[in-house]
């Protein structure tokens, strides 16, 4: 009788736990479906959404809509999206790895590696850490400084701009948060110069191969083009070709990174410290996530990563956007919850929806932060 009294509650406990786990999984699916509903395209319009949720050490994928309407091809976890500015965290992961391995310092001037800038003025005071944390003082894009410039920037154009750039009280290195695509592109070049290796090859050797992710690249190679999504504008009209690079800067390695939700889920898990066989990389990722500049009490800036808080929830995240893509990766470190959202349509609130999902999964009733969302990333 004593054995039974122990065994029966144990069996009941196991069954209840299994039932709770199943209910939780259904709840995750319901939460995701509810939150992404506002950005799903209407009938006849282009686009879809790929979502990956990391919870309890496992990943679940949820897919909606079309990767390519004309081809009647639906979104899957292996559909390949333009990451937009989410790709910036790959550059800062490489930077953090190099710092951890003693190969360079966050305090190194960028001109130490990009020697063309030694002929410049204020740019010589800008450090690698400032480039990575949006505190360099450089404008978002060079055209905000050189109003007269028309068209894209080649490398010689960019060097000319950087060497002529003058700091002022609102653009002083290390003194303010000022989101800058120009700074992040310059960081890529500095990494290339330090290791005498193209940025795409650095990313391949130091991140994608060690993580075993095979659908992440810059630019997208021919063998992956067949899985690239068609990008659509806000109203659902096609923009550009699948796998096509766009943006201000025109030289090899300055374009956008492409990836799938399956690959990004692995990258997310590593950033959450949940891949025990990748400890050195996870240590570098943790360094990149650490806040280095306080924008306000609820918003701190790391190396590309944002640290935002609302209610009892702190979220580390990064968002991205172009006219034909909207992306988000974020996680709540204390609750071990993470989410990736990839949308092949521009000007969708991927950031807000990602944070809403994390709050719902954490059962935190507070209103999610809007920091870093009101002015979405734009490459």
| pLDDT tens column, 92-116 | 999 999 999 999 999 999 999 999 9
Residue 43 pLDDT: 77
369 located within any domain = no
Is residue 65 in a domain? Answer: yes
Looking at the 3D structure of the chain, how many domains does it have? Answer: 1
Strand pairing category for 299-301 and 313-322: unpaired
* Residue 339 pLDDT exceeds 90: yes
Q: If 0-12 CB within 10 Å is exposed, 13-18 middle and 19+ buried, where does residue 198 land?
A: middle
Residue 374 is predicted with a pLDDT of 56
Whole-number pLDDT of residue 300: 98
pLDDT of residue 373: 79
Q: Which residue has the tokens 């095979």?
A: 214
Q: For residue 378, what pLDDT is reported?
A: 55
Helices (H) and strands (E) in the chain, counts: 10, 11
Query: What integer is the mean pLDDT of 359-368?
Result: 95
Residue 254 lies in a domain: yes
Of 18-32, 35-49, 86-100, 151-165, least confident by mean pLDDT is: 18-32
Q: Is residue 374 part of a domain?
A: no
Is 50 exceeded by the pLDDT of residue 16?
Answer: no
pLDDT of residue 312: 92
Residue numbers of the domain that contains 126: 29-361
Q: Band the pLDDT of 18: cuts 50, 70, 90.
A: very low
Residue 84 has pLDDT above 70, yes or no: yes
pLDDT bin (cut points 50, 70, 90) of residue 246 is confident
If one compares 23 and 173, the residue with the highest pLDDT of the two is 173
Taking the C-alpha atoms of residue 181 and residue 23, their distance in angstroms, rounded to an integer, is 43
Average pLDDT over residues 217-229: 96
Tell me the pLDDT tens digit for each residue of 109-146: 999 999 999 999 999 999 999 999 999 999 999 999 99
- Is residue 42 very low, low, confident or very high in pLDDT (cuts 50, 70, 90)? confident
pLDDT over 50 (residue 10)? no
Q: Using 50, 70 and 90 to split pLDDT, how confident is the model at 375?
A: low
- Give Cα 342 distance to the centre of its chain: 10
**For position 180, what pLDDT does the model report?**
97
pLDDT at 238: 96
Q: Mean pLDDT of all residues in the chain?
A: 92
CATH number where 242 lies: 3.40.710.10
pLDDT in tens, 262-316: 999 999 999 999 998 888 999 999 999 999 999 999 999 999 999 999 999 999 9
15 band by pLDDT with thresholds 50, 70 and 90: very low
**Average pLDDT estimate for 237-263:** 95
DSSP of 279-345: HHHHHHHHHHHS--EEEETTEEE-SS-EEEEETTEEEEEEEEEETTEEEEEEEETTTTEEEEEEESB
Q: Is residue 117 included in any domain, yes or no? A: yes
- What whole-number distance in Å separates Cα of residue 139 and Cα of residue 279? 35
Residue 377 lies in a domain: no
pLDDT category at 12 given cuts 50, 70, 90 is: very low
């Amino acid at each position: 009788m004593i054995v039974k009294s122990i065994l029966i509650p144990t069996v009941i406990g196991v069954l209840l736990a299994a039932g709770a786990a199943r209910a939780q999984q259904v709840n995750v699916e319901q939460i995701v479906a509810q939150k992404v509903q506002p950005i799903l395209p209407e009938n006849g319009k282009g686009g879809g959404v790929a979502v990956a949720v990391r919870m309890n050490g496992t990943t679940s994928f949820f897919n909606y809509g079309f990767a390519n309407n004309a081809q009647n091809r639906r979104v899957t976890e292996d559909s390949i999206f333009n990451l937009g500015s989410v790709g910036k965290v790959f550059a800062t992961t490489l930077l953090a790895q190099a710092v951890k391995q003693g190969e360079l310092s966050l305090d190194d001037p960028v001109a130490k590696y990009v020697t063309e800038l030694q002929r410049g003025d204020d740019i010589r005071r800008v450090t690698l850490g400032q480039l990575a944390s949006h505190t360099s003082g450089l404008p978002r894009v060079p055209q905000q400084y050189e109003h007269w410039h028309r068209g894209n920037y080649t490398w010689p154009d960019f060097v000319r701009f950087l060497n002529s750039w003058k700091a002022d009280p609102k653009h002083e290195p290390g003194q303010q948060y000022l989101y800058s695509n120009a700074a992040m592109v310059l960081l890529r070049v500095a990494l290339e110069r330090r290791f005498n290796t193209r940025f795409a090859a650095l990313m391949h050797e130091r991140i994608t191969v060690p993580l075993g992710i095979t659908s992440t690249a810059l630019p997208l190679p021919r063998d992956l083009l067949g899985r690239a999504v068609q990008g659509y504008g806000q109203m659902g009209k096609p923009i550009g070709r699948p796998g096509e690079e766009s943006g201000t800067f025109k030289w090899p390695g300055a374009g956008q990174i492409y990836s799938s939700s399956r690959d990004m889920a692995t990258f997310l898990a590593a950033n959450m410290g949940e891949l025990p066989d990748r400890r050195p990389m996870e240590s570098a990722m943790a360094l990149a996530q650490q806040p280095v500049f306080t924008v306000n009490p609820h918003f701190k800036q790391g190396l590309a990563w944002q640290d935002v808080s609302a209610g009892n929830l702190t979220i580390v995240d990064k968002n991205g956007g172009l006219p034909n893509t909207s992306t988000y990766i974020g996680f709540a470190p204390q609750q071990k919850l993470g989410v990736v959202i990839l949308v092949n349509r521009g000007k969708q609130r991927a950031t807000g929806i990602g944070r809403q999902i994390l709050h719902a999964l954490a059962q935190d009733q507070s209103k999610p932060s809007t920091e870093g969302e009101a002015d979405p990333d734009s490459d």
